[in-house]
Structure 1
Amino acid sequence: MSNAIQTARFAIGEVVRHRLLDFRGVIFDVDPEFANTEEWYEAIPADIRPAKNQPFYHLLAENEETSYVAYVSQQNLVADDDEEEVVHPAIATMFDRFEPGRYHLRPERRH
């Protein structure tokens, strides 16, 4: 893989699933490349640590037990195809409606 920054494959509002871990979420922000702390990055096991020169996504995430905010590399996300809504308390503050696979930003959240 080259050092060039990749184009974001997913958009704000899309529902995605982690490729390796058992959680899914809705994207609410995208960084063109890694923009978290070095401590966060180093905490990822080396054998699954993603490259920094790719888009990273902020997700309102859920798993079987809880909801939380996740920060995930593009290489570890796939489109979610189960068409169910994501259960997260912050969704209503950012998005106003859901259709299978995607949430729509509230008008006041659009740039």
Structure 2
Amino acid sequence: MTTMDEKIASFGIGQVIHHREFNYRGVIFDVDAVFQGTEEWFQKNVGVGNPSKEEPWYHVLIDQDGRVAYVAERNLLADDPTEPVEHPLLENFFTGFNGDHYQARQTLN
């Protein structure tokens, strides 16, 4: 059962994205329905696009860069998935690339 205020993410785990403002590619490895960081992190890091804490936020492995980003939905665009992403942590989250998106590893809680 869904409620009117339930958040629907526009992007999924394994999807290749492009950051609107910072012009990098990456792959999503986790999604939060709303902002899950600290107020201190938000104030220090969020100036671009003035995102809401109430929209979906994505954990992204940045292509050709060892860093991980935490990005508001409004700053993301779908990217051409035919070019694979290169990141040292890719194998921790995905089993491979199928030409369309990355296949997430199955995890047991």
Q: Shorter-chain TM-score category?
A: 0.7 to 0.9
Q: Distance in 2 between matches of 1:81 and 1:26?
A: 11
Contact preservation (8 Å) 2:26, 2:61: yes
Alpha-carbon offset, residue 88 of structure 1: 0.5
Greater alpha carbon shift after TM alignment, 41-50 vs 89-98: 41-50
Q: Do the aligned residues in 1 keep the contact of 2:27 with 2:63 (CA within 8 Å)?
A: no
1:7 paired with 2:3, answer no
Q: Assess if the C-alpha contact under 8 Å between 1:5 and 1:54 holds in 2.
A: no
Secondary structure, aligned partner of 2:42: helix
Report the number of matched residues.
105
Task: State the alpha-carbon separation in 2 of the partners of residues 106 and 47 from structure 1.
Answer: 32
Q: Could you say if the C-alpha distance between residues 87 and 55 of structure 1 is closer, same or farther in structure 2, counting changes exceeding 3 Å?
A: same
* Runs of 5+ unmatched residues, structure 1: none
Q: Counterpart in 2 of 1:51?
A: 52
Q: What's the TM-score, normalizing by structure 1?
A: 0.82
Q: Which residue of 2 aligns with 1:74?
A: 73
CA deviations 1:50-70 (Å, max 9, x no partner) are 11110000011135xx22110
Q: Residues 20-72 of structure 1: CA distance to partner in whole angstroms, max 9, x if unpaired?
A: 11211111111000111111111235463211110000011135xx2211000
Say what the alpha-carbon RMSD is for the aligned residues.
Answer: 2.0
Cα distance in 2, alignment partners of residues 8 and 81 from structure 1: 19
Distance in 2 (CA, whole Å) between partners of 1:38 and 1:77 is 22
TM-superposed CA distance for 1:81, in Å, is 1.2
Give the superposition deviation at 1:92: 1.0
Q: Percent identity?
A: 41
CA contact (8 A) 1:80 1:101 kept: no
> 1: CA distance between counterparts of 2:53 and 2:42?
9
The residue type equivalent to 1:28 in the other structure is: F
8 A Cα contact 1:33 1:52, kept in partner: yes
